[in-house]
Chains A and B, each alone.
Chain A
Amino acid sequence: MYNEFMNKKTGHNGIRLWAVGFWLAAWQIAGMLSREHVFFVTPADVMARLLALAGTPDFWQSAGMSYLRITSGFLLSVIFGTGLAAAAAALPRLRELLAPVMLAIRTVPVVSFVILAIILVSPRQLAVLISLTMGLPIMYTNVLDGIGQRDPELMEMARVFRIPPLRRIRRVDAPLVLPYFRAGLKVSAGLCWKAGAAAEVIGVPAMSIGLHLYQAKIYIETADLFAWTLVIVLLSLATEKLVLFLTDCLAKSQRNW
């Protein structure tokens, strides 16, 4: 089932290197043609600025602290989302109770949450809380959908053969839920980084990417803005790839033991 799901990935929606090259070249040419414009920077300018920033300890401290805050929120959203989904699958009343909350979190703009949360928590905790809040409904909904897709015939088989609950979850349930869990991770990781970075820009905690983005805006440092944005994109992609890799390893290890 996990394999079938993964095999459906055709690669037609994947990112091609030539397409990235094309857009970078277009950006470079457009930037070179409008050199006199203060807001317009080329990819080469951004890379030069990024390399310069990477040579300072402040860059690594800021990127590291932001990574820590946002991935903490993301991991908490995975833990709570999965736990709540498992509980809600077993308890229909809890599912009914949580439905409006999850809908509200999904539909309320991120900025409203950030403004409300900044009153309640310190700027350092803001990104953690916002990442958690944004990732939670995605993980919850996906895992709950996955649990709903379990094969009733296999559940009966497990019951008749008296397979202990933990082994049943690991061998029978998990392979069916994992594709949904994986899809949740993929969406949630990106969203947590977007929301977490936005929270940092509003909360401006010391040693954060958000602070540098804020300063880039104040001093109209377009190259800095792009360089820090690139850092966010790279960290977001790294988080996504790492958790998906670990999930795929877990799925493989569950098949035969």
Chain B
Amino acid sequence: MNLRIEGLVKQYDGRRVLDGFSAEFPEGKTTAILAPSGAGKTTLLRILCGLEKPDAGAIRGMEGRRLSVVFQEDRLLPDSDAVSNIRLAAPAYEEKECRQLLSALRIPEWEQRGKPVREFSGGMRRRTAIARALAVPADFYLFDEPFRGLDGETKSCVIACVREKTRGKTVLLVTHDEREAAEMGAVREIDIAAGQAAQMPQ
């Protein structure tokens, strides 16, 4: 079942952040949401996560289905290590699986257990947040600028891993970077600012 958003309105202090936004996200595919800063991308994700209530409009196709998120901020427990952070959100995920996932995201083995994530570099914390989201068994994955702060070969490697792990799942990818959307295999691009959906060139 596709995820459908119909006439979503959200305003803060009289300023409309989302103004009748409508879109359809195909099931099992990746959709990229592109827009300049302040266009309401994060607000849209917060509404989809259930963290904000829209002033008007409807969301269909999410009822009873589980979602997983990479927030714009890492939102990790600073005193816990990478494996513990993953298992907090995904307790069924075995330690061995956590380690494999972290290794796939290029976090060295000796950094995975025992080292609090506050001692990690920004990029490693970001990759831990991505690992946590991927470990959660979900129907929807919401990624809010997940690859921010990653560069070069690491970024390509992480994107490949994320793409592999979310194959067949509905993914909403918020990004500024069209190349990231293409590397993630996004089938559609949605420009919130324009309020229109456009087909990605295959």
Q: Do A and B bind each other?
A: yes
Q: Which residues of A are interface residues toward B (Cβ below 8 A)?
A: 1-4, 153-154, 156-157, 159-163, 167, 171-172, 175, 255-257
B136 within 8 A of A: yes
Closest 6 CB pairs of A and B: A161-B89, A157-B75, A256-B84, A255-B79, A160-B49, A153-B75
Are A156's CB and B89's CB within 8 A?
Answer: no
List CB contacts (< 8 Å) of B93-140 with chain A: 113-114, 116, 118, 132, 136
Q: Which A residues are in CB contact (< 8 Å) with B49?
A: 156, 160
Are B80's CB and A161's CB within 8 A?
Answer: no
- Prevailing SS type, chain B contact patch: loop
Q: Which residues of B are interface residues toward A (Cβ below 8 A)?
A: 49-51, 66-69, 71, 73, 75, 77-81, 83-84, 87-91, 113-114, 116, 118, 132, 136
Residue in A closest to B142 when the chains form the complex, CB atoms: A160
Are B51's CB and A256's CB within 8 A?
Answer: no
Given A167-B88, A171-B88: A156 touches B75 (CB 8 Å cut-off):
yes
Q: How far is the CA of A162 from the CA of B114 in the complex (A)?
A: 25
* 12 sampled A-B residue pairs with Cβ under 8 A: A2-B79, A153-B73, A159-B50, A161-B69, A161-B136, A162-B66, A171-B77, A171-B80, A171-B88, A175-B77, A255-B80, A256-B113
Q: Which A residues are in CB contact (< 8 Å) with B80?
A: 171, 255-256
A256 to chain B, nearest CB (A): 4
Are A172's CB and B73's CB within 8 A?
Answer: no
Q: Which A residues are in CB contact (< 8 Å) with B68?
A: 161
Residue in B closest to A170 when the chains form the complex, CB atoms: B88
Are B51's CB and A3's CB within 8 A?
Answer: no
Known: A2-B79, A156-B75, A171-B88. 4 other contacts (CB 8 A): A3-B79, A171-B77, A255-B116, A257-B87
Q: How far is the CA of A175 from the CA of B77 in the complex (A)?
A: 9
Are B136's CB and A256's CB within 8 A?
Answer: no
Q: How far is the CA of A175 from the CA of B81 in the complex (A)?
A: 14
Q: How far is the CA of A154 from the CA of B77 in the complex (A)?
A: 8
Are A160's CB and B88's CB within 8 A?
Answer: no
